[in-house]
Amino acid sequence: GAVVSQHPSRVICKSGTSVKIECRSLDFQATTMFWYRQFPKKSLMLMATSNEGSKATYEQGVEKDKFLINHASLTLSTLTVTSAHPEDSSFYICSARVGGVTNEQFFGPGTRLTVL
């Protein structure tokens, strides 16, 4: 099956610093990748849709200047949390859509961000 990786799996940073999370599709090309955020025992909340070569589309309430998304190639999308604050601490998960009619998305293993 399609494999999606994320790096790092876990990161701890100081308040005010920026953190970059990478999402890679390892064995397929993904024109569309998605970024989600998940709080403990809560649902995945879509943050933004990332299309290769174009600007990301952000969901309502998500600050685009705080959560910078770059999708420079068909296999890599990055999420940068800028000027991180403790309330940004969360589990960030990316997914990549396999082309075709169905909406089969394959998810990465997630990145646990802790902001001190």
The residues that touch other proteins, with contacts defined as CB under 8 A, are: 4, 6, 32, 34, 41-46, 49, 91, 93, 95, 97, 102-110, 112
User: 19-25 and 32-38: which strand pairing?
Assistant: unpaired
Q: Please report how close the Cβ of residue 116 comes to other proteins at its closest, in angstroms.
A: 20
Q: Please report how close the Cβ of residue 71 comes to other proteins at its closest, in angstroms.
A: 14
The residue (of 25 and 32) whose beta carbon lies closer to other proteins is 32
Q: Please report how close the Cβ of residue 66 comes to other proteins at its closest, in angstroms.
A: 20
With CA atoms as reference, report the closest residue to 67 among 42, 35, 39, 96: 35
List CB contacts of 12: < 8 A, sequence separation 6 or more.
Answer: 114, 115, 116
